[in-house]
Structure 1
Amino acid sequence: MSLLGTPARRTASARAGTAAGGADAGALRFEGVGRTFGDGAGARDVLRAIDLELAAGEVVALLGPSGCGKSTLLRAAGGLDTPTTGRALIGGSAVRQHDERCAVAFQEPRLLPWRTLRANVALGLPTGTERRAGAGRVDELLELVGLADHADLRPREVSGGMAQRTSLARALARRPGVLLLDEPFGALDALTRMKMQDLLLAVHAGSPTTVLLVTHDVDEALQLADRVVVLGRSGDDPAATVTELVPVPGARPRDRGSVELAQLRGRLLESLGVDAHRR
């Protein structure tokens, strides 16, 4: 299923960031990406012929059943895994191994327990960053995620939500052109998760970047994304491909009680094989 072609509009936050002198967001493109693990009789096909493009500054959510290759595709975007076929590109050039144009935040904060929150965020700075400039960037990010008053605490002294905010700040420290988020709020309680979603929108407005978000939460995808991409298997093919691409209407932040979003939620749940009307 070919879904190439840059969306007509670029997000307002990306335009604002460029005007303010922020780092340029990078367009992300997958061309015929496939991934097979193992070889011979034990080979396992996970992804097949993924053609997809994210416009600079766009937020795209990946939905799909567990094990369908969402995280594998995200890892290919950051150079953390190499596709068996096809390629990923940022700004028109091929993704490199551990590509420095990308930053990743995972479901677990993965903070160093013996370092302060400030020092953990500083780990994300590009190699060779001048000391004063680096300290200023870290302070800016801690302020952005609401942790300026907790910067000298260690991970064991803060809540899970605060640790996840620190992880997000660390990912943004290098001013990435592409931000890759792998279930970043999945381990949080429902209320904290909604607060983190709101924070991500604020961060995206203040530090625009292209975002690829892996999530199992349909409501989260509808709150955050410009488009939702559904990965799934077709027929007897064991490998997943793009089965649906859905634009999300309305400017962010969106009304969580919107009837239009509720209808779209039902459509996406059905695409995922869930009966949206079952009580």
Structure 2
Amino acid sequence: MTSTATEPGPRPQRARTAPESVRLDGVARSFDTPQGRQDVLRGVDLELRSGEILAVVGPSGCGKSTLLRLIAGLDRPSAGALRIGGTALAGTDERTAVAFQEPRLLPWRTLEKNVALGLPRGTPAAEGRARVRELLRLVGLEHAAGQRPREVSGGMAQRASLARALARSPQVLLLDEPFGALDALTRLRMQDLLLEIHAAEPTTVLVVTHDVEEALYLADRVLLLRSLREDPASPSLDRIVEVPGARPRDRADHALADLRVDLLAGLGVDAHRPAAPSSPASITPASTTTASTPTASTTEHLS
């Protein structure tokens, strides 16, 4: 018995391929400027594990977006090699998809038709419509399928952009500051949505962000890049931080707070933690004070 278009029916049977790993060996990128050759990335040796979420943080100008563009095949390295699933990367690759800070939706198309732009070439019409409906449900936009970008909020537009990137079932998903233009509350909700999407449709994810807390909440590992302008003799990769715990994580976890302080220090930002008392003798007995002194746990929470 053939189901009608109004019946939900079974989900379309699409080829589900495992997420791919990404390997960078000695990758560098330089640009010619009026002041001479400028190194943006140098000596990047890195492997994105299959199915992981890797966040990239670093000071402005350290090459975060350049790194993403190289993996996306939108730029070529000046030196070194990149591989996806063991295959050398040469230009853009059908296994990857990119979403940027701006949704970049076509204003004259509905959200449904914008999402459909991400489908692989040659997708049969019925299968494509089913896939778009599936993605709109996944990102909570099935009710807004017929609306145009100007008729929806920024968060809804960004959800449509994510759905478009997922339309081809990418094995590597690259996100360049995807929530940077959103208000704080919408940003938190989008972080949770990304984790829900990753659980529903696993892929290898690289997300560039300026938000250390966002990086620690989303990622399995956080990559800290250094600015070559400030440290011209060193490689770009400063350190990789393993983030403990399973996702979704407790945003108030003290272990994440400690990692946040460590990463902020790597970015040259002082966390302004209050100094601990040098010895018990320096603490005034509570019986002689008129106001209570904050406990160590309170100052830790406030920092």
Query: Given the two structures, how large is their TM-score scaled by the length of structure 2?
Result: 0.83
Q: Is the 8 A contact 1:233 1:241 kept in 2?
A: yes
Q: What CA distance in whole angstroms lies between the structure 2 residues aligned with 1:254 and 1:265? A: 14
Structure 2 residue identity aligned to 1:140: E
Q: Is the 8 A contact 1:104 1:180 kept in 2?
A: yes
Q: Does 1:276 align with 2:276?
A: no
Change (3 A) 1:39 1:233: closer
Q: What CA distance in whole angstroms lies between the structure 2 residues aligned with 1:197 and 1:48? A: 30
Counterpart residue number, 1:237: 232
Structure 1 residue identity aligned to 2:61: G
Counterpart residue number, 1:215: 209
Offset at 1:239?
Answer: 7.3
Structure 2 residue identity aligned to 1:269: L
Q: Does 1:27 align with 2:18?
A: no
Counterpart residue number, 1:171: 165
Q: Structure 2 residue aligned with 1:258, among 229, 253, 257?
A: 253
Identity %: 63
Offset at 1:87?
Answer: 1.5
Map 1:1-279 → 2, pairs under 5 A: 22-38=16-32, 42-233=36-227, 236-237=231-232, 241-277=236-272
> After the TM superposition, which segments of 4 or more aligned residues of structure 1 sit over 4 Å from their partners?
none
Query: Given the two structures, how large is their TM-score scaled by the length of structure 1?
Result: 0.90
Q: What CA distance in whole angstroms lies between the structure 2 residues aligned with 1:239 and 1:208? A: 35
Q: Is the 8 A contact 2:61 2:227 kept in 1?
A: no
Q: What CA distance in whole angstroms lies between the structure 2 residues aligned with 1:138 and 1:238? A: 48
Residue deviations 1:195-224 (CA, integer Å, cap 9, x gap): 000000000011110000000000000110
Q: Is the 8 A contact 1:233 1:239 kept in 2?
A: no
Q: What CA distance in whole angstroms lies between the structure 2 residues aligned with 1:40 and 1:203? A: 44
Offset at 1:31?
Answer: 0.8
Aligned-CA RMSD value: 1.7
Offset at 1:95?
Answer: 1.4
Offset at 1:233?
Answer: 3.6
Q: What CA distance in whole angstroms lies between the structure 2 residues aligned with 1:99 and 1:239? A: 30
Offset at 1:39?
Answer: 7.1
Offset at 1:21?
Answer: 6.4
SS in 2 for 1:203: helix
Structure 1, unaligned runs of 5 or more: 1-19
Q: What CA distance in whole angstroms lies between the structure 1 residues aligned with 2:263 and 2:205? A: 20
Q: Is the 8 A contact 1:142 1:151 kept in 2?
A: yes
Q: What CA distance in whole angstroms lies between the structure 1 residues aligned with 2:23 and 2:129? A: 33
Structure 2, unaligned runs of 5 or more: 1-13, 274-302
Q: Is the 8 A contact 1:222 1:261 kept in 2?
A: yes
Offset at 1:37?
Answer: 0.6
Offset at 1:40?
Answer: 9.1
**Range with bigger deviation, 33-42 or 60-69:** 33-42
- Point out the structure with max Rg over C-alpha: 2
Q: Is the 8 A contact 1:46 1:238 kept in 2?
A: no
Q: Is the 8 A contact 1:120 1:166 kept in 2?
A: yes
Residue deviations 1:117-171 (CA, integer Å, cap 9, x gap): 0000000001111111111111100000000010000000000000000000000
Residue deviations 1:10-30 (CA, integer Å, cap 9, x gap): xxxxxxxxxx96332110111
Q: What CA distance in whole angstroms lies between the structure 2 residues aligned with 1:95 and 1:127? A: 20
Report which structure shows greater RCO (CA 8 Å, sep ≥6). 1
**Range with bigger deviation, 41-50 or 207-216:** 41-50
Q: What CA distance in whole angstroms lies between the structure 2 residues aligned with 1:238 and 1:187? A: 34
Residue deviations 1:221-247 (CA, integer Å, cap 9, x gap): 011000000000466407761101000
Tell me the number of residue pairs that the alignment of Structure 1 and Structure 2 aligns. 260
Change (3 A) 1:254 1:221: same
Residue deviations 1:56-107 (CA, integer Å, cap 9, x gap): 1010000000111000010000100000000211000111212111100000
